[in-house]
Amino acid sequence: MCGRFAITLPNDAMAQLFSARPANALPAVPNFNVCPTNQIHVVRSSETGRHLDALRWGFLPHWYKSETAGPLLINARSETLAEKPAFRDACRARRCLIVATGFFEWTKSEQGTRLPWYIHRKDQEPIAFAGVWQDWGADENRQGTCAIVTTAANENLSSIHHRMPLVLEPEDWPLWLGEAGKGAARLMQPGANDVLAFHRVDPAVNSNRASGPDLIEPFDG
C-alpha cells in the first residue's frame, strides 16, 4: 500500500517532465510528508493534451453523500480494480499519474515499535504512480479525487511490505493515460527489482504533522 509520500520537484519542472499544462493552483512544494486527504499533483490526459492538476488524495465514489460517508480510499488494488464498483469505471476511463519523489512504508521492531522506511528511485528521478480519479460533489463543492493503484510487492520490497504502489516507467505513461490505445491492464504488475532503493528514516515521520527535509534522510538510530 502507500499511506504517505514526498514530493520535492518544482511545479514547473513537473509540468515539463510530463509535457503537461499546469493548473493555476497547485499544491506547494516541497512537501516531505504528503498525507491522505491532501491535495496532490496529478497528471491527466484529455483531447487537449496532458494537464497537471491538484486532486484530493482519497477517492470519493459518486454515491458518497459526504467525504466521510464511507472508507477513505487512498489505494486501489490492481487485482480488483476493474471489478470493484468504486473503481471499475475509473479504471476504464479515468486513469492518471500521481507524482512523487519517494514514499514511506513501515515495519515493526521486535518490541513493536513502528520503523519508517523511505523508498525512492535508484536513479533519483521522480516516481509516477499509476492512479485513478473521480470528480465528486456538485456546484461549489465539486472536487477531483484520486487513489494510488497498488500491486503485490516485488522481491526487493517484500521485506518491508507485501504491497507497493504501481510504479510506471516513462514509456508506459501514454498507455496508462489512454493515449496509446487499449491494453493498460498489462501494466498492472510489480515493477523490476532494480528500480527502487530504500533506507530507514527518522521515526518523526510517524506523525502526520512532521515536516522538513530531514524526514527523508538516512537514519541510523
Which of 190, 186, 146 minimizes the C-alpha distance to 167? 190
Integer Cα distance of 212 and 6 in angstroms: 10
H/E stretch holding 174 reads helix 173-176
Q: Which residue in the list 35, 83, 96, 105 is annotated as catalytic?
A: 105
Q: How far apart are CA 12 and CA 157, in angstroms?
A: 31
Closest CA to 17 of 26, 9, 27: 9
Which among 2, 91, 96, 146 is annotated as catalytic? Answer: 2
Nearest 10 degrees: Cα torsion 56, 58, 59, 64: -100
Dist CA 40 CA 52 (whole Å): 10
* 2 labelled catalytic: yes
Does 146 participate in catalysis according to the annotation? no
Q: Write out the catalytic residue numbers.
A: 2, 105
